[in-house]
Amino acid sequence: MNGLFITATDTGVGKTRVGAAIALWLRRQGLQPGIMKPAETGVADPAQPGEDAQLLAWSAQCGAAPELYAPWRLRQPLAPATAAAHEGRRLHFDELLHCAGRLAQQHDFLLVEGAGGVMVPLCHDHLMLDLPRRLQLPTLLVIRPGLGTINHTLLSLRALNEAGVAVAGWVINRMPAAPGTAEAVVIDTLSQWTPLPCLGVLPEVSGNPYDQITQLTQRIDRDAELAPLRRLLYRLGTGA
């Protein structure tokens, strides 16, 4: 399967914006990326894809059926397994593998975005990190700058490594224009403790979600410090 799994150190890190920007960048390179939001919680109307899935689909111009790219939509803003239990539903992991397989057949590249962090319960018998492990997708970890991120990042990387998930690297998202000491030392500190590369730093951006995605895509396309991320996406997207 040709693609990338995107996860984060926690909820609210901005991985949907990053994933959508990557999808838009790939499309602008002439590829036909597919997207998948396997489980989205806090969805007001589960009859429709949630906001995250809609943003990803907009960026990729994904024409696949919502039942494939956003199969699990749950009302409660909880871990997917917990939200499903509240609704009296039992989620089946093999359903996600089936959806991902069909999407991969229809697109050049499949971008799969998790929910929350890597240890979030996905269903009654699987954690979120089990999905990239079974799909055999390299994983991009999105982290926040600031106090606490060193611990969260190293724990996430260790969990992925112990599960046998290939990690392509990590990116920092929402770096403020005037970083404080805690933000400024993140790259150097993490680089001392993990051999996995920092693929770039994305800034804090403003505007509505679509404006934010467009701004991040422009950053991916032109910022010198994001060249490692561009090289990764080009290699994964073209098979080079």
CB-based contacts of 72: which residues, under 8 Å, 6+ apart? 38, 39, 40, 80, 84, 91, 96
Lowest mean pLDDT among 61-65, 86-90, 236-240: 236-240
At residue 220, what are phi and psi to the nearest 5 degrees?
Answer: -60, -35
Q: What is the pLDDT of residue 220?
A: 97
Contact predicate 142/14, CB 8 Å: yes
The pLDDT value given to residue 238: 74
Rounded Cα distance, 164 and 239, in Å: 22
**Nearest residue to 15 (alpha-carbon basis) of 115, 106, 157, 92:** 115
Helix or strand or coil: residue 91?
Answer: coil
- Assign 161 to helix, strand or coil: helix
Residue 1: per-residue pLDDT: 81
Mean pLDDT value across the chain: 96
Q: Which two tokens stand for residue 104?
A: 């991969």
Tens of pLDDT, residues 81-125: 999 999 999 999 999 999 999 999 999 999 999 999 999 999 999
**Alpha-carbon distances, residue 16 vs 20, 189, 192, 210 (angstroms):** 6, 26, 28, 11
Query: What is the distance between the alpha carbons of residues 14 and 143, in angstroms, rounded to a whole number?
Result: 9
**C-alpha to C-alpha distance for 214 and 205, rounded to whole angstroms:** 10
221 has pLDDT over 80: yes
Please pick, among 27, 37, 144, 219, the residue that the annotation labels catalytic.
Answer: 37
pLDDT the model gives residue 237: 84
Confidence at 240, pLDDT banded by 50, 70, 90: low
What is the DSSP secondary-structure string of 70-82?
S-EE-SSSS-HHH
Beta bridge partners of 112: 5, 36
Q: What's the one-letter identity of residue 126?
A: H
pLDDT category at 37 given cuts 50, 70, 90 is very high
Nearest to 174 by CA among 204, 154, 153: 204
Q: Which pTM does this prediction carry?
A: 0.97
**Active site (annotated) includes residue 37:** yes
CATH number of the domain bearing residue 164: 3.40.50.300
User: Which domain does 196 fall in, by range?
Assistant: 3-238
Q: Is the dihedral of CA 26, 231, 204, 73 positive or negative?
A: positive
In terms of residues, how long is the chain?
Answer: 240
| DSSP bridge partners of 127 | 121
Please tell me the total count of domains within the chain: 1
The whole-angstrom separation of Cα 53 and Cα 39 is: 9
Residue 77 has a pLDDT of: 97
